[in-house]
Amino acid sequence: MTAASELSFFASADGDLAYREVGTGAPVVLLHSGFADHRVFDDQIPTLAADFHVIAPDIRGHGFSANASKPFRWADDLAGLLRHLDLGPAVLVGLSMGAGAATDTALEYPELVRAIVVSGGGTSAFEYKDPELVEHAARAGQLLATGDIAGWLDQFTQGVAGPRRTVADVAPSVIRRLRELTAHTISKHTPGEKDWYVPLADLWPRVPKLDVPVLAIHGAADWPDSIAMADRLIHTVPNGRSTTIEGVGHYPNMEKPDVFNEILTDFLRSL
């Protein structure tokens, strides 16, 4: 996986934010899932860097980026980074939580966004309705609140597989990598600490005005709520569409990277 020595750091108003930057061409920003960091895209970065300028940040409080000490929004952090790099408009590729960060940024800073790709999520107004997923998330929250990191990691990896598979159905290398990434992020925090993240206000009334191409890449075995959130986004924007990768769950980019990369690259080249 990516070494810390390969990272650059942007001095934000509230600590240094880490990012990996490689390649030349049109800018593509890769936004990772919750509790992980930019390394969930290790199978995408080399492929994309052959033709594009790839930026893969660690969202505040994740990976090698600083924790928050005051209120912050994902969109402001990403806009600050893109302006620091004098880049934009960029294609934002968001996985799960990263999908919310991508959509937030497009709503708040439309001049910086050329297109959006989401997988495992849609906007930052996360909507969980499936009782099984709600129960799963609640259990994970309880384990995290009590500092049971080993229990939380087991609960997290069960979620990676999705509701119709078991952990044994996912390649051990994928599970191992995700456990390493999430354990690293969790180690930066303490149980019960203040959450400084500020959600974007009045989100859904603004989504129909997102006048950029939006692609959703579904994992067929992902949680139905995750697929539904992405579908709601692409059905609300003027220019949205989706595609599905069979046999994968919440991390299609890690389970079938070649297929994911082909879909993503074809979309980028069509812009």
Q: Using one digit for the tens of pLDDT, what is the confidence trace for 201-217?
A: 899 999 999 999 999 99
Q: Is the separation of the CB atoms in 120 and 161 below 8 Å?
A: no
**pLDDT surpasses 60 at 3:** no
Of the CA atoms within 13 Å of residue 193, those in its CB half-sphere come to 15
Strand order across the beta sheet in which 214-219 lies: 8-12, 15-22, 53-57, 27-31, 90-95, 113-119, 214-219, 240-245
**pLDDT score of 141 more than 90:** no
Q: How confident is the model at residue 2 (pLDDT cuts 50, 70, 90)?
A: low
Lowest mean pLDDT segment, chosen from 91-100, 143-152, 237-246: 143-152
Farthest-apart Cα atoms in the chain, separation: 48
For the chain, what percent of residues have pLDDT higher than 90? 83
Predicted local confidence at residue 165, as pLDDT = 93
Query: Of 145 and 114, which is predicted with more confidence?
Result: 114
Using a pLDDT cut of 70, give the percent of the chain over it.
98
Output the CATH code of domain 4-129+196-270. 3.40.50.1820
pLDDT of residue 271: 97
Q: What is the DSSP letter of 199?
A: P
**Lowest pLDDT segment from 2-6, 117-121, 228-232:** 2-6
**Cα Rg for the chain, rounded, in angstroms?**
17
**43 Cα distance to chain centroid:** 14
H or E stretch including 216?
strand 214-219
Predicted confidence band of residue 91 (pLDDT cuts 50, 70, 90): very high
